[in-house]
Amino acid sequence: MMVSPGNPLKPARGMAPFEKRLASARAWTDGVRVIATDIEARLGTRFTVDTLAALHRRFPNTRFVLLIGADNLIQLPRWKHWRRIARAVPIAVLPRPGQSRRALASRGAQVLARHRRRPGALLADRSRTGHAGWAWVPALEHPASATAIRAAGGVLV
């Protein structure tokens, strides 16, 4: 779980300090199967495309999957070099309350529709298409929103 030093598409105002968000993420993870890391801050990257390129250079034998929420699938076309990201790394999309239908009808989902796979096939060989692919991961939707957590004085990852 990468804790970002700052999302370029979100205002910094209202966001908890990075150290506090990192500590919160570490409290939620088990440190074995899921590790919260500050690697993006250490790499000095702010954009996903740059972070992924740096990670691939640093860990050339590792297969990465980009895990995003449905809300991020909606805004994916606003990301720097989003099509390059989608070609380079499999994307697993988790449902979000009130966002799932919009996400599946979004421009990002439409553009990438022919590369959609079943979740179990996401890491399959992509030599046929040359595209990493993406999958909708069926999961329970958690009702907590970032806005509500911030308003209650909680910490966000």
Domain boundaries, the chain: 48-151
Residue 127 has pLDDT above 80, yes or no: no
Percent of the chain surpassing pLDDT 70: 87
Is pLDDT larger for residue 37 or for residue 142?
37
| Reported pTM | 0.85
Q: What's the average model confidence in pLDDT over 40-54?
A: 95
Is pLDDT larger for residue 149 or for residue 57?
57
Q: What is the largest CA-CA distance in the chain?
A: 48
Q: What's the average model confidence in pLDDT over 85-99?
A: 94
pLDDT in the model for residue 88: 92
pLDDT in the model for residue 155: 57
d(CA 91, CA 75) in angstroms, rounded, equals: 14
pLDDT range class, residue 157, cuts 50, 70, 90: low
